[in-house]
Structure 1
Amino acid sequence: MDTLTPKQAEQLGMSKSGLYRATRDGRFERIARGIYRDRNAPTADWDWIEAATRRPEATICLTSALALYDLTDTIPHTLDIAIPRGSRIPTTEAAIEWHLFDRQTFDLGRTEIDITGSSLRIGIYSPERCIADAFRMRGAVGYELGRDALREWLRRGGKPAHLMEIASRIPRSKGPLLRTLEAIG
Structure 2
Amino acid sequence: MTKTDQVLQIARQQGVVRARDLKEKDLPPRYLSRLADRGKLRREGRGLYRHPDAPLTEHHSLALVASRYPSAVVCLLSALQFHDLTTQMSRRVWVAREKGDWTPEASPTRLEVVHMSGDSFTEGAKQYEVEGIPVKVFSPAKTVADCFKFRGKVGLSVAIEALRDYVRSSADPIEELYRFAEVCRVQTVMRPYIEATV
User: TM-score, structure 2 length as denominator?
Assistant: 0.78
In 1: Cα distance, 2:152 partner to 2:132 partner: 36
Q: Which moved more, 1:122-131 or 1:35-44?
A: 35-44
Q: CA deviation at 1:81?
A: 1.4
Cα distance in 2 for residues equivalent to 1:86 and 1:98? 12
Q: How many percent of aligned residue pairs carry the same amino acid? A: 25
Instruction: Give the corresponding residue for 2:50.
Output: 37
Q: For structure 1, which runs of at least 5 residues remain unmatched after alignment?
A: none
Please tell me the residue identity of whatever aligns with 1:42. Answer: P
State whether structure 2 residue 105 is matched by structure 1 residue 87: no
Change (3 A) 1:15 1:133: closer
Is the 2:65–2:108 Cα contact (8 Å) retained in structure 1? Answer: no
CA distance in 2, matches of 1:30, 1:38: 9
2:73 alignment partner, one of 55, 59, 74: 59
Q: Distance in 2 between matches of 1:53 and 1:96?
A: 14
Matched to 1:64, the amino acid is S
The 1-side partners of 2:176 and 2:18 are apart by: 41
Q: Aligned pair in 2 of structure 1 residues 34, 179: CA closer, same or farther (>3 Å)?
A: same
Alpha-carbon distance in 1 for matches of 2:67, 2:84: 26
Aligned match of 2:6 = none
- CA 1:40/1:72 → structure 2, altered by over 3 Å: closer, same or farther? closer
- Distance in 1 between the 2:134 and 2:23 partners? 22
Write the letter of the residue equivalent to 2:89.
I
The one of 125, 129, 136 aligned to 2:149 = 136
8 Å CA contact retained: 1:47, 1:95: no
Match of 1:72 in 2: 86
Q: CA deviation at 1:134?
A: 0.5
Q: Where does residue 124 of structure 2 map in the other structure? A: 109
Partner-residue secondary structure (3-state), 2:122 = coil
* Matched residues, number: 181
Indicate whether 1:145 and 2:133 are aligned: no
Residues 52-74 of structure 1: per-residue CA shift (max 9 Å, x gap): 12211222211111122222211
In the other structure, the counterpart of 2:177 is 163
Equivalent-residue separation in structure 1 for 2:149 and 2:82 (angstroms): 20
Q: Which moved more, 1:123-132 or 1:35-44?
A: 35-44
Give the Cα–Cα distance (whole angstroms) in 2 for the partners of residues 59 and 170 of structure 1. Answer: 15
Instruction: Report the CA distance between 1:160 and its aligned residue.
Output: 3.2
Give the conservation status (yes or no) of the 8 Å contact 1:57–1:122: no
Name the SS for the 1:168 alignment partner. helix
For 1:174 and 1:40, the matched residues in 2 are separated by 48
Q: RMSD of the TM alignment (CA)?
A: 2.4
Higher helix share: 2
For residues 153 and 4 of structure 1, the distance between their equivalents in structure 2, rounded to whole angstroms, comes to 34
What is the aligned partner in structure 1 of residue 4 from structure 2? Answer: none
Go from structure 1 to structure 2 and tell me whether the alpha carbon gap of 1:156 and 1:38 turns closer, same or farther (over 3 Å shift): closer
CA distances 1:90-148 after superposition (whole Å, capped 9, x unpaired):
22131221222214332211111111xx3211011111101100000111110111111
- Aligned residues of 1:47 and 1:94 also touching (Cα < 8 A): yes
